[in-house]
Amino acid sequence: MQSKEAALILTRTQIVPLQEMMELYGSDVWHYAFFLTRSRDAADDISQEVFLKAYRSAGAYRGQASFKTWLLTITRNTCFSWKRNCFWRRFLPLGSHGTAEYTRSAEKEALGKQYTNRIWELIMELPDKYREVLVLDMRQELSVAEMAALLGVAQGTVKSRLSRARGKIRAAIKEEQL
């Protein structure tokens, strides 16, 4: 925590070296991207894009939010762009089929084997809006206010989604007797 806060202060005075930025926040960005896209390949690509964007634009960071929240915001929007561009990304001639979709489909099938426990499988099966708040809370440890700012919704909405997300996992755990 100390080192991350130090980095946050650093960003207000100068650009954080890319390497340091990645060491501090690489895991956070990658996991958030993965939880939103459910794809390791996409998480890799999105992480790259996020850090390159952040590195290029860090001088413009104004410090209204924590540096981590700023990075997660870029991550989230890059993920949205990625999702949308699953079909928008590029123009391909008719008859051409990107392997990306098939790669992801195959990857999805293998997802269940990746997690350290069944609870994460259950979390990944939640609808996006519930999965996202749960991940931001558990993994990213953002406050409700930070989540609300990041998601662009009211704090009450965040609390409501968190409550419902927990309720769904609680019910699933009970049902599966985990």
Contacts (Cβ under 8 Å, ≥6 apart) of 115? 121, 124
Among 7, 16, 72, 162, binds other proteins (CB under 8 A): 162
Is 141 among the residues that bind other proteins (CB under 8 A)?
Answer: yes
Contacts 24+ apart (CB under 8 A), 22-27: 22/51, 25/67, 25/68, 25/71, 26/51
Is 94 among the residues that bind other proteins (CB under 8 A)?
Answer: yes
Rg (the chain; Cα; Å): 18
* CB 99 to other proteins: min, Å: 5
d(CA 108, CA 120): 14
**Which residues in 72-91 contact other proteins (CB under 8 A)?**
73-74, 76-78, 80-91
Return the number of the residue (10 or 48) whose C-beta is nearest other proteins: 48
* CB 10 to other proteins: min, Å: 18
Return the number of the residue (10 or 26) whose C-beta is nearest other proteins: 26
Return the number of the residue (10 or 73) whose C-beta is nearest other proteins: 73
Q: Which of these, 89, 86, 120, 88, lies nearest to 105 by C-alpha position?
A: 86
